[in-house]
Amino acid sequence: MKFSLLVFCILLCISCSTAQNKSSVRSETKNTDSSLVYQGEKIIKTDLEWRSILSEESYHILREKGTEYPYTSSLLKNKRKGIYYCAACELPLFYSESKFESGCGWPSYFEPVHARNVTEIEDRTHGMIRTEIQCSKCGGHLGHVFDDGPPPTGLRYCINGDALKFKERQN
């Protein structure tokens, strides 16, 4: 059962990524509050410290580069206005306004809060070449980015919901 679900997840990732992201540098997001932009202070913790602050699922994704099963994230259908933060270090990652329904089974966004808040790394696992997205502040694995998203960026940041915390805007 677990093997067939893993195969399903891999095939779903392949089918969702119609084009591979070739760019390693993104333009900086416009109109971003400077207090939400990563300033270069890295967080370093031991595995024991990460385990003490993260759920088992979040630890597996963020620290062991795991993934959640598609269509299981409580954030997948979230339509509230706010900001999605890294579940490990609370760096702001995505505005709710950049979220869209991609149909791939994971929360998807067309741009981060700021290009500095995410780090792109070539990922050659599972027989594919993809671009992994990590939190710039703590190095936690978030998901992947693909070139098949909507305008204005054409990007799809396919992110594990258990790697995120959502804070609703208080207006």
Distance (Å, rounded) from C-alpha 46 to C-alpha 141?
16
**Chain segment 108-154, per-residue pLDDT in tens:** 999 999 999 999 999 999 999 999 999 999 999 999 999 999 999 99
* Block residue for tokens 């979040």: 58
Q: Where are the domains of the chain?
A: 45-168
Q: Which amino acid would we find at residue 60? A: H
Architecture of domain 45-168: Beta Complex (2.170)
What is the reported pTM?
0.81
* CA neighbor of 61 nearest in space, from 165, 167, 164, 130: 164
Between 2 and 133, where is the model more confident?
A: 133
Instruction: Retrieve residue 128's tokens.
Output: 């594919």
pLDDT tens digits, residue range 49-102? 999 999 999 999 999 999 999 999 999 999 999 999 999 999 999 999 999 999
CB 135 within 8 A of CB 6: no
Does 16 participate in catalysis according to the annotation?
no
| CB atoms near residue 97 (< 10 Å) | 12
Higher per-residue pLDDT: 128 or 34: 128
From the candidates 86, 104, 138, 158, which is the catalytic residue?
158
